[in-house]
Amino acid sequence: MKFGIVSILLVLLFTNGVLNQEEDETSDEASTTEAIPEYENDDEPVIPVYIQPRFDEEGDIKWFPRIIGGTPAVMGEFPGKVSLQTRMGSHFCGGTLIDLNHVLTAAHCVTDSRSQVFNPAALQIMAGDVSITRNSPAATRETRLVSHIFAHPDYDIGTMENDIAVIRVSIPFRLQQGIVMPRPLSRSVPPVGTVCVLAGWGTTSEGTNTPSPSLQRVDLDIIDTDRCNQSYRGLLHGNMFCAGHMAGGRDSCQGDSGGGLMCDGLVTGIVSFGYGCGRRHFPGVYIDVSQYLEWIQQNQGFDGTHDDIPTPRPSNYDIATMENDIAVIRVSIPFRLQQGIVMPRPLSRSVPPVGTVCVLAGWGTTSEGTNTPSPSLQRVDLDIIDTDRCNQSYRGLLHGNMFCAGHMAGGRDSCQGDSGGGLMCDGLVTGIVSFGYGCGRRHFPGVYIDVSQYLEWIQQNQGFDGTHDDIPTPRPSSASF
């Protein structure tokens, strides 16, 4: 039977608490071929969605959509985790920072029962804290108003397909101890059995609607999709996968919807729906982030309603992985060569050996957690770090066009406001400050773009900008860096 009006009616029934089913607990756990669980009405499979939040007269959440079997998370463990809240500060869904301006969440968290997007002015985003209590003493907590909400245009409330959304905040979050460089997005779902981790403020048991006051975390296994789909009677679509435990006991629950499932340090899934919380045979269902990378990037780059001009960058720059994080800016009037502005340094043709001491200068903040740039230019000596060793710390996030510099013991690094600056090695511009985990943290040196891999692209963009009929600067045909 196709999902249509019947599906929506079931959703409404679920909203009002009419649907209350219990699974059969009598099957043999040791059985290798488990029977498909029975529903109360065998003629019409239940769509176990986590529907939209309900509000009371004051604007507080009365009921909200979906960590069972979890443990408390510690401060800084999930720095990209955010709480979607009403303007009254009531938590109703989770989300993940994908940059300092945008949050990735589920479409059902930001739409009503008619799939209409909520008024952005009714919501706020809280980050930088493990507690959602209003009197939390955390100095790192930040709350932002919402300026735009982008629910996927093909989101289907009946089938939960394309249950994904991007929220843009009115003012960017600040990089600090509780809010660090957001994690990249995964390009695939890892193999069955991979252990991933989910964090959320959702209820800690089924049947309650009070969120956990402190962030909880739980390890969840990637489940075989075909096996999971048997339990859900074929309700899963190609953009979904399952994670949890077939034996039950560990799962997401009400209030965890929209949160990001982290696998190998990458945002891999978005909590979408499930049948109950932690029930046997019914692991949680997640939206596969890897299938929406282009759509996510589009909604990070522009809002779809204004003629925003994106910052010039290589056509293959990837905001999710930070690959090709390089740009060239042309000024309207050339700078004058004088005492403070001399002939620019040439570009390096290779990254020097591990242990080479390079130098970085910048006006960035001088300590993590602050947002005030240094009034005077600062300089620091940084060592070239073994890439494989650095990549271990970053869980394989580095790509071939990146390298690391700093100190594995911490204490010396680039910080907020230094991004884009040039790392000088032997008098040559060798790297561009790209990203890092915090500032000067042990085991996490800064990550730099390897300039030597972009010499031809840089030279092209010095000659013309690709959008105007500029006359390239005259230079010998044999010019090189």
What is the reported pLDDT for 72? 67
For the ranges 273-282, 417-426, 428-437, the maximum mean pLDDT occurs at 428-437
DSSP SS3 for 79: coil
Task: Measure Cα distances from 314 to 109, 325, 399, 420 in Å.
Answer: 34, 8, 16, 15
What is the reported pLDDT for 468? 35
28 annotated active-site: no
Q: Is the pLDDT of residue 66 over 70?
A: no
Residue 468 falls inside a structural domain: no
Residue 136 falls inside a structural domain: yes
163 annotated active-site: yes
Catalytic-role residue among 163, 413, 418, 450: 163
Work out the pLDDT band at 384, boundaries 50, 70, 90.
very high
Work out the pLDDT band at 344, boundaries 50, 70, 90.
low
164 lies in the same domain as 108: yes
Residue 154 falls inside a structural domain: yes
User: Among the three residues 152, 169, 186, which one is the final residue of a domain in this structure?
Assistant: 169
Residue 2 CB-density burial (10 A; 0-12 exposed, 13-18 middle, 19+ buried) = exposed
For 462, phi then psi, to 5°, come to -80, -30
456 lies in the same domain as 363: yes
Residue 474 falls inside a structural domain: no
User: Among the three residues 153, 169, 185, which one is the final residue of a domain in this structure?
Assistant: 169
103 lies in the same domain as 164: yes
What is the reported pLDDT for 28? 36
Q: Is the pLDDT of residue 4 over 50?
A: no
Average pLDDT over residues 1-10: 30
What is the reported pLDDT for 169? 93
Q: Which two tokens stand for residue 470?
A: 């500029």
Domain span including residue 105: 79-169
Residue 185 falls inside a structural domain: no
125 lies in the same domain as 216: no
Q: Is the pLDDT of residue 207 over 90?
A: no
Gap between the Cα atoms of 267 and 175, Å rounded: 19
151 lies in the same domain as 106: yes
Whether this model's pTM surpasses 0.85: no
364 lies in the same domain as 456: yes
DSSP classification of residue 315:
T
What total of structural domains would you count in the chain?
Answer: 3
Q: Is the pLDDT of residue 22 over 70?
A: no
Of the chain, the percentage scoring pLDDT greater than 90 comes to 24
Residue 305 falls inside a structural domain: no
What is the reported pLDDT for 470? 37
159 lies in the same domain as 220: no
239-269 tens-digit pLDDT: 999 998 887 655 455 547 888 899 988 899 9
Average pLDDT, the chain: 73
Gap between the Cα atoms of 394 and 409, Å rounded: 15
The two most distant CA atoms of the chain are separated, in Å, by 84
Work out the pLDDT band at 353, boundaries 50, 70, 90.
very high
What is the reported pLDDT for 368? 64
Residue 471 falls inside a structural domain: no
Residue 321 falls inside a structural domain: no
Catalytic-role residue among 90, 131, 252, 257: 257
Work out the pLDDT band at 192, boundaries 50, 70, 90.
very high
Q: Is the pLDDT of residue 274 over 70?
A: yes
108 annotated active-site: yes
201 lies in the same domain as 132: no
112-133 tens-digit pLDDT: 888 899 999 999 999 988 888 8
Among 250-259, 330-339, 346-355, the range scoring the smallest mean pLDDT is 250-259
Q: Is the pLDDT of residue 59 over 60?
A: no
Task: State the sign of the Cα–Cα–Cα–Cα dihedral 151, 157, 160, 162.
Answer: negative
Instruction: Provide the residue count of the chain.
Output: 481
Catalytic-role residue among 91, 102, 108, 152: 108
CATH of the domain at 395: 2.40.10.10
What is the reported pLDDT for 144? 94
Q: In which residue are the tokens 């003012």 written? A: 171
**Cross-strand bridge partners of residue 102:** 99, 168
